[in-house]
Copies of this chain bind each other. A is one copy, B any other.
Amino acid sequence: MSLKNGATLVAQYPKMPITVDCVIFGFDDNELKVLLIRSDLEKYQGMWSLLGDVVQETEEIDAAAYRVLDQRTGMTDIYLDQVRTFSRPNRHPGGRVVTIAYCSLLNIKHHSLKITDNELHWHSVSSIAEMAFDHKEILITCHEWLQKMIQENPVGFNLLPDKFSLRELQNLYEAILGIELDRRNFRKKFATMNLLIDLDEMEEDVPHRPGKLYKFNFEKYNKSNRKWVGIDF
């Protein structure tokens, strides 16, 4: 076999555009939400789509995803993960476009969407009917990814305020997993994990007995080498 020159070889390869699509989950009003934008394509007029953009010639794809997130929401320091690549040849009406889905979790209260035109909107995940492109499929895949993720890693904290009650934490888990959990066992689980710091503060402005407020123990998280005992319910 003869050896080849890399540049010569690559020059002959078929080329296609690559995009990133960000599935940005938030949590509010006891519901899992996702940040959507109205499609700017004729074909999908009025339909909702994920936040995406094309990847630039020399841009690392992860970087493109962070860029999209920054440009759309102003957020920079948040959790972001590659989930999966979607490549159906006709998934984009304008021609072949391969897209790479990223997931991110953010605290809605922290981000009063800087771009507050009505093109951008937090949607309840459970009530989305139709979406542009194959974005519904991507969203479902990312939701499943999140369900798995949240049971193996304490990523849920990224969706909550800095201070939160155990009830809020449990509501989050129930919303993401779509199941009800036993309150006592849930609290016990987190108690034994030692991941919560009791702030000795109470909830305020709640229409019932206030619960204690906690914050996430980041130090413990970092020290633990990220090997998590799964969170099984």
Q: Assembly of this chain: how many copies? A: 2
Taking residues whose C-beta sits less than 8 angstroms from the other chain, chain A's interface range is 35 or more
- CB-CB under 8 A from A85, the residues of chain B are 61, 82, 85, 100
Which of A38-46, A165-173, A198-206, A210-218 has 4 or more CB atoms under 8 Å from chain B? A38-46
Complex Cα distance, B6 from A93, in Å, reads 6
* A119 beta carbon closer than 8 Å to chain B: yes
Q: Are A56 and B14 touching (Cβ within 8 A)? A: yes
- Could you tell me if B57 and A16 are in contact, using CB atoms closer than 8 angstroms? yes
What B residues does A87 contact at CB under 8 A? Answer: 55, 60-62
Question: Which chain A residues numbered 1 to 51 have a C-beta less than 8 Å away from chain B?
Answer: 1-11, 13-19, 38, 40-43, 45
Q: Counting CB contacts under 8 A, is A77 at the interface?
A: no
Contact B92 A43 (CB under 8 A): no
CB-CB contacts of A116-132 with B at 8 A, as 1s and 0s? Answer: 00010000000000000
CB pair A6–B94 under 8 Å, yes or no, is yes
CB distance from A42 to the nearest CB of B (A): 5
Q: At the interface, yes or no: A59 with Cβ under 8 Å from chain B? A: yes
Determine whether A97 belongs to the interface, using a CB cutoff of 8 Å to chain B: yes
Knowing A1-B119, A6-B41, the reply to whether A88 touches B100 (Cβ < 8 A) is: no
Asked whether A58 is an interface residue with its Cβ less than 8 Å from the other chain, the reply is: yes
With A62-B87, A87-B62, A96-B57 as contacts: A10 and B4 at CB distance below 8 Å: no
What's the least CB distance linking A72 to chain B, in Å? 14
Q: Does A189 contact B (CB under 8 A)?
A: no
Bound Cα distance A13, B15 (Å): 11
1/0 per position for A80-116, CB-CB distance to B under 8 A? 0010110111001111111010000000000000000
A residues contacting B by CB (< 8 A) are 1-11, 13-19, 38, 40-43, 45, 54-62, 82, 84-85, 87-89, 92-98, 100, 119, 230
- 21 pairs from A and B in contact (CB 8 Å cutoff): A2-B40, A3-B41, A6-B41, A6-B93, A6-B94, A7-B93, A7-B95, A10-B92, A10-B95, A13-B17, A13-B54, A13-B97, A14-B56, A15-B16, A15-B17, A16-B57, A57-B96, A58-B89, A61-B85, A62-B87, A85-B100
